[in-house]
Structure 1
Amino acid sequence: MTIGKHIHHADLNYVSPQDEVPYPLISKFHISGTYRTISPEIKENSDDYIEGIEKSYLFYLPNLHEIHQVLAEEDLLIVSIYIDIDVFKTFSQGFELLPTPLQALINKSSPPRFHYPVGEITPAMFRVLQQILNLPF
């Protein structure tokens, strides 16, 4: 898991390499702030999109270099949860109910990339995120 809290005082463009081996399944929650993502290298995804406030995303994008554009004074707070694919496969019940991209992670040796906007952060998700952010330890 990573927690990113950033305020940049100038516009920022940076390249984010996605070349971890093995690459994990990532669930990302934008609690505050937005930024533009450009992924010109792939056909599996829109090559230009905005990741926005109070939205959640699920993605698997191995071997990719994305460009992120953050505007000055944007208050970003993002929680990302990384799940090793082999660990994900150990949760063996109900996979037939999962969306096709997630089933491919389980059933294929080289699953296709995907970036799935899950939707709004629900009140229940927000409560759990607040518990993570405000741990007493």
Structure 2
Amino acid sequence: MNDLFASLYETDLTFNQTYSMELFNNGAYMSAFLSMLLPAFVIMAIFYFLIKYPFCKWYHWFLGICTAIIITGVLTYNVLAETLAVFVLAPNDYPDINSFITTFIVFNVVLAFVTGFIWTLVFKQAPRPNRNVPWGGK
């Protein structure tokens, strides 16, 4: 599974030979993927299946997406900081570690937004009171 997720994350934007090999060898790509996928799934499932009217407006949906993005950023940072601790603790020897971590987090947050949007399209098909949110409805 780590090979599959590595192919997703090792783009020109997020690839660095030293750090990417460390992430791959420790299986951190799977953790990074789960830290992107699960918050969006859980928050959108809560929004579409547990929250009832009057808390099913478009801005509540947007707040849920923003919450998933923040949680994804924090979880991704924790995965990277734990896996790349050797590099983080020696920033003078590895001056580009902070830019790599920032780029990786931003990439994962964008993926979390896209995933949250996809979960929205999936959950809107369910016969629930707030299936019209964020588009249409009352």
| TM-score bin (small chain) | under 0.3
TM-score (norm 2): 0.20
Higher helix share: 2
* TM-score for the superposition, normalised by structure 1: 0.20
Higher strand share: 1
